[in-house]
Amino acid sequence: MNEKTKQGAERDRQHLWHPFTEQRAWCAEDHEILLIERGEGVWLWDTEGRRYFDGNSSIWTNIHGHSHPHILDALRQQMEKICHSSFLGFSHEAAGLLAQRLCEFFPANTLTRVFYSDDGSTAIECAMKMALQYRMQRGQEHRQQIVAFANGYHGDTLGAASLGGVDLFFRRFRHWGMKVDFVGSVEELQRRDASSIAAVVLEPMIQGVNEMRPWPAGMLRCLRHWCDAHDVHLILDEVMTGFGRTGKMFACQQEEVIPDFLCLAKGLTGGYLPMAATLTKEGIYEAFFGKEHVFYYGHSYTANPLGCAAALANLDVFATELQQELLEEKCRTFSSLVQTFSHLRGVREVRHLGMIAGVELHGEVGTGAEVCLAARKHGLLTRAIGNTVVLMPPLCATAEEMDFAVRALTQAINSTNPWSSNGDAQ
Ligand SMILES: Cc1ncc(COP(=O)(O)O)c(C=O)c1O
């Protein structure tokens, strides 16, 4: 271990506190702390010079790979002008251009307004507050209920976390959070009295943190019909699924559904800077006209110019390097590669959609984490949710690179799981 790694790890043990991490085990002497130093394309290098495939797109954010020259150029150009100025009382060109381009992904006069914030959680907070305040300003105070889906995940701030169905993350705080009704399916929702419901929140097509579980085909469209029939707003959380991840630019386009609120973050800037957007419709926006109707919400870094520049460059790269046909071809390649996991004896189930896969393992709790640790030795970094190992490569991954990742994970599963044998590897 070189001096830089040693000192970096020591500083980490002394001063840092990592998210979703049991710190005693993290700080233990026998736990090797990797310090990521640089990235290019799908690859990451640590301070020891070791190269790894970025198997979960740096926590589901990266789209076109690390250090993409076009995105870096856009950032440099913006940096030369200004890094940040207030969006309260002023505007700037990149914010408007980005809003226009985001709205253009949808039919005219549907999603027309963009409200910026900082991350997935705040994009959701915005949508919820807008949905509730809208009802108050339209004389529908009786519609105060927000409905979310069991086992869903929408972020960690107190409001967004109230929508979370993963008990482990939120049970301690439920008492202080917002009152949210949970349903397990659209059928269950259909049996509810809709008259007090303001909005329903969903991760469309696939629940991410719920171990990558796709919804049944047609579910999203069915939910949209129900919302329309009962005057309930549909909030779609595309924080994970947005920007090509499911094989279309947005997951809602898979079933030709347009939500009333669309929440975007993670891949918005291609995975370069924290930034989020909540898109909504003109009719909702207009309910906020007038002094008494102001939407009192915002953050210091709202519409950060660097974030906007990265996001615009991210969209440019879709247009120049990752058109729809190529994305679909990549999804087909990924699909056939990840299906080979189901032949491994250590694997219980493979779930996937587009460029997202969850490989659920047999074995005791902790097997997922163990497999991820073993995968490092084969040049793959990723993270498990429970016993489901996530494989979600940056969309720029070539067939060879995807194949590398799948082989690395296969070897890791076979070397870890007592039910596996190397002969099972495909
Ligand atoms: C579907 C979904 N919504 C919201 C969030 C929260 O986003 P952030 O971590 O940027 O606050 C996540 C994060 O994983 C997510 O997967």
Q: Averaged over 159-182, what is the pLDDT?
A: 90
Q: Which of 239, 245, 273, 299 to mutate to test the pocket of ligand 1 (most atoms within 8 A of CB)?
A: 239
Residue-wise pLDDT for 320-336, tens only, equals: 999 999 999 999 999 99
User: Which atom number of ligand 1 is nearest to the Cα of residue 276?
Assistant: 10
Residues 6+ apart with CB under 8 A from 37: 45, 46, 47
Whether 133 and 169 have beta carbons less than 8 Å apart is answered as no
134: CB partners within 8 A, 6+ apart: 198, 233, 284, 287, 288
Ligand 1 site residues (CB inside 6 A) read 119-121, 124, 153-155, 203, 208-209, 237, 239-240, 265-266
Q: What's the rounded Cα separation, in Å, for the pair 51 and 36?
A: 10
- The structural domains of the chain, with segments of one domain joined by +, span 34-64+323-424, 69-321
Asked whether 123 and 277 are in contact (CB, 8 A), the reply is yes
Distance 102 CA to ligand 1 centre (A): 19
31: pLDDT strictly greater than 90? yes
pLDDT at residue 425 in the model? 39
CATH architecture of 69-321: 3-Layer(aba) Sandwich (3.40)
Q: 415-423 long-range CB contacts below 8 Å, 24 or more apart?
A: 415/374, 416/346, 416/367, 416/370, 416/371, 416/374, 417/344, 417/345, 417/346, 417/361, 417/362, 417/363, 417/367, 417/371, 418/346, 418/363, 419/345, 419/346, 419/362, 419/363, 420/344, 420/345, 420/346, 421/345
Residue 128 Cα to ligand 1 midpoint, Å, equals 15
Atom nearest to 121 CA in ligand 1: 11
Radius of gyration, alpha carbons of the chain: 22
Worst-scoring range by mean pLDDT, 36-40, 148-152, 158-162, 164-168?
164-168
| pLDDT more than 90, % of the chain | 93
Pick the residue whose CA is nearest to atom 3 on ligand 1: 154
- 414: CA distance to ligand 1 center in Å? 31
Average pLDDT of span 355-380: 95
- The rounded distance, in Å, linking the Cα atoms of 265 and 185 is 25
Kindly state which CATH superfamily the domain 34-64+323-424 is placed in: Aspartate Aminotransferase, domain 1 (3.90.1150.10)
- Predicted pLDDT of residue 423: 40
Share of the chain above pLDDT 70, in %: 98
Got the DSSP string for 55-115?
TTHHHHT-SS-BT-HHHHHHHHHHHHH-S---SSS---HHHHHHHHHHHTTS-TTSEEEEE
Run of H or E including 189: helix 186-190
Per-residue H/E/C for 208-271: CCCCCEECCCCHHHHHHHHHHHCCCEEEEECCCCCCCCCCCCCHHHHHCCCCCEEEECHHHHCC
Q: Which atom, in ligand 1's list, is nearest to the CA of 209?
A: 16
How much distance in Å is there from the Cα of 421 to the middle of ligand 1? 36
Distance from the CA of 164 to the center of ligand 1, in angstroms? 11
Average pLDDT over residues 91-120: 98
More confidently predicted of 171 and 402: 402
Q: What residue ranges in 103-152 does DSSP mark as E strands? A: 111-117, 145-149
Question: Measuring from atom 16 of ligand 1, which residue has the nearest CA?
Answer: 240
pLDDT confidence bin for 424, thresholds 50/70/90: very low
Distance 266 CA to ligand 1 centre (A): 7
Q: What is the pLDDT of residue 417?
A: 66
pLDDT band at 419 (very low <50, low <70, confident <90, very high): low
403 CA distance to ligand 1 middle (Å): 28
Contacts of 132 (CB under 8 A, 6+ apart): 144, 146, 198, 199
Give the confidence band of 169 by pLDDT, cuts at 50, 70, 90. confident
Residue whose CA is at the smallest distance from ligand 1 atom 8: 120
**Cβ-defined contacts of 140-145 (< 8 Å, 24+):** 140/198, 142/195, 142/196, 143/195, 143/196, 143/197, 143/198, 144/196, 144/198, 145/179, 145/181, 145/196, 145/197, 145/198
d(CA 352, CA 200): 25
Q: Tens digits of per-residue pLDDT, 366-378?
A: 899 999 999 999 9
Which two structure tokens, joined as six digits, stand for 213?
A: 């579980």
- For 217-276, the pLDDT digits (tens) are 999 999 999 999 999 999 999 999 999 999 999 999 999 999 999 999 999 999 999 999
Q: What average pLDDT does the segment 25-46 reach?
A: 97
Q: How far apart are CA 87 and CA 357, in angstroms?
A: 38
Q: Of 299, 168, 148, which is closest to residue 159 (Cα–Cα)?
A: 148
265 CA to centre of ligand 1 in angstroms: 8
